[in-house]
Amino acid sequence: MNIQTISAQQFVNEMCERTGTKIGSLFTRTPLKLKVGWVRSNHNPITVVREGRNSMVGINYAAAVNRQRQREQGDAAEEFIAKPRRWGTRIMREDGNPTPFIHHTKDDVELLYLTIAVRWEKSAKFEDSITGEEIQPEKFAEFAYAQSSSSGQGVEHEIKPRDYTLTNIHGWLHNGTYYTIVHGEDLPNVPVV
């Protein structure tokens, strides 16, 4: 396997290089949102580490759900219409096609999110954000929020869209090359041409 180190800007450029779907594995480290009792009981924050989330970048969500409905229900499948986003703005190209990125301002901070559809994934591991020590899910289960599904798809095998803050993505495996992503202080520009 070839290994390369690239900047966050180079990663954004690669994801926007062409329209259509890219398939690869995403490597992320994200803070786990827990109920307030976890912090009050003097526990350190927890990081969710996902190594090798097999992903599709650049999918058309509604079209993907409609294809899945067609596979499962045949001619009886009704058309799925995706609801509008509740937060953030999809960054569009000049030709009207969407990029895989969402722009969002949270607490006066501008953020970029990458939208993926999860194909399959290895189970996540959980780490103490301060010490790096692995934590078993049973330890914080009572403080965890229930997982939501992509309700309304009307399919047995759901399309699982996920949005990742760009700064939480640390690796991308694509076409036999693993890209280590280095983040700088500036928010990358999303090319729209």
Count of beta carbons in the 10 Å neighbourhood of residue 45 = 14
> For every one of its 193 residues, what pLDDT tens digit does the chain have, with 9 covering 90 and above?
899 999 999 999 989 887 788 999 999 988 888 887 776 676 778 888 887 778 899 988 899 999 999 999 998 889 999 888 899 999 998 888 889 999 999 889 899 999 998 877 677 888 888 888 888 888 888 888 877 665 688 888 888 889 999 999 999 999 999 999 999 888 888 876 5
Question: Whole-model pTM above 0.95?
Answer: no
- pLDDT for position 123: 72
35 in any annotated domain: yes
Question: Does residue 193 belong to any structural domain of this protein?
Answer: no
Cα(20)–Cα(15) distance, integer angstroms:
10
User: Which of 76, 80, 88 is CA-nearest to residue 60?
Assistant: 80
Q: Are 73 and 157 in contact (CB under 8 A)?
A: no
What is the domain range of residue 54? 2-182
d(CA 141, CA 159) in angstroms, rounded, equals 26
Query: Is 189 part of any domain?
Result: no
Contact 114, 169 (CB under 8 A): yes
In a domain, 190, yes or no: no
Give domain status of residue 93, yes or no.
Answer: yes
The answer to whether position 116 is within a domain reads: yes
Nearest of 1, 54, 2, 9 to residue 181 by alpha carbon:
9
Q: Is residue 191 part of a domain?
A: no
The tokens of 20 are what? 């259509």
Model confidence over 128-184: pLDDT tens digits? 888 888 888 888 888 888 776 656 888 888 888 899 999 999 999 999 999 999 998
- Domain for residue 79, yes or no? yes
Domains identified in the chain, total number: 1
